[in-house]
Amino acid sequence: MDGAAAHGGALSYLLRSFLCTLRIGSGDQRHTETGNLAVIAPSRVPGLARSFHVLSLPRSAPQAPRYSLSFTAAGLRPELAAVIAAIHLEEQGDWPRTKATVLERNALQARSASTGKRLESELRQRLQRLNAPQIQLLARGSSEERSAMAWLAVLKRIEIAADLAREVLDGKLSSQDLELRRSDMAAFYAACERDHPELAALSPSSQQKIRSALLKMLRDAGLLAGKATRGGILGTVQRPSLSPRAQQLVEDDDPALLSGFLRTPERQRRARTGGTAP
């Protein structure tokens, strides 16, 4: 092998080795940490007399996905969500035709075209997370079931709402501390901003708008009762109504979603009680 070919082969080998190190986990026996770099034990390069250490860059911690913050364009609005769901069934499950029909009819009774577009866009993007049986229940169910399916759509699209229900409300209910305080919400938002810089980057007025919209959705979904007081109490945490049919649709979809309704999946309840759940 001549010198040029040897060096070319060596460079190719080193490049392959470097790419391989990107896939080496902490369990690799040859992997050691040196400062901010990971060093792989000396490797013999074909065609060269000397061996080399191959360095790999450390893996960065995965970032949390950005929150969807467009929900201020529409509250829970189960009655409007039901209108879109009914039109979606008319249009044989075709979302582009559903969108066109909703806007052409002004089915959401918006005062202006721009408002109608914002409402339709936000509500449709939530409803697109629901499966066919959930859409049918939203369109044809009782008022209670429509609210449940509208809240389910929120949980599946608006992660900050799901986090709030799971991390704050469910925790307070479990500890039998049913009063939701301003301090609870302040601590929740502070924790969210550490993982979601997009929240901290908002203007104070936008942050307040998001907080107000979340609280209103909690009330409309039945998770928060009572009015805010001057003493810093925002309301009383409670489990929302959930019909057996609605609960089954949620649990069949993903049992973890029941935490957004402040409920525990059936099999977990049985495991805790050692038998039949109440």
**Average pLDDT value over all residues in the chain:** 83
- Does one domain contain both 176 and 113? yes
148 shares a domain with 99: yes
pLDDT grade, residue 34 (50/70/90)?
very low
Reported as a pLDDT band with limits 50, 70 and 90, residue 20 is very low
Same domain, 98 and 160: yes
Whether residue 96 is predicted with pLDDT greater than 80 in this model: the reply is: yes
Domain residues for 86?
A: 70-261
User: Which tokens go with 122?
Assistant: 């936000």
Selection from 206, 202, 152, 208 nearest residue 185 by Cα:
208
Whole-number pLDDT of residue 192: 94
Residues 203 and 116 in one domain: yes
Confidence of residue 266 (pLDDT cuts 50, 70, 90): low
Q: 65 pLDDT band (50/70/90 cuts)? A: confident
Q: How confident is the model at residue 59 (pLDDT cuts 50, 70, 90)?
A: low
Same domain (yes/no): 115, 247: yes
User: Confidence band (pLDDT; 50, 70, 90) for 14?
Assistant: very low
Task: Give the pLDDT of residue 23.
Answer: 42
Answer yes or no: do 45 and 78 share one domain: no
193/35: higher pLDDT: 193
Mean pLDDT of 183-187: 96
> 165 with 110, same domain?
yes
106 and 206, same domain (yes or no): yes
Range of weakest confidence among 28-37, 148-157, 230-239 = 28-37
CA 82 to chain centre: 22
Whether pLDDT at 22 is above 60? no
One-letter amino acid of 202: L
Number of domains in the chain: 2
Tell me if 278 is assigned to some domain: no
Task: Give strand ranges (E) for the chain.
Answer: 31-34, 37-44, 51-56, 179-181, 224-225, 233-237
pLDDT: is 165 or 57 the higher one?
A: 165
Q: Is residue 50 located within the same domain as residue 183?
A: no
Q: Within a domain: residue 269?
A: no
Residues 26 and 85 in one domain: no
CATH of residue 231's domain is 1.10.3540.10
Strand partners, 37: 34
pTM of the predicted protein model: 0.75
DSSP 202: S
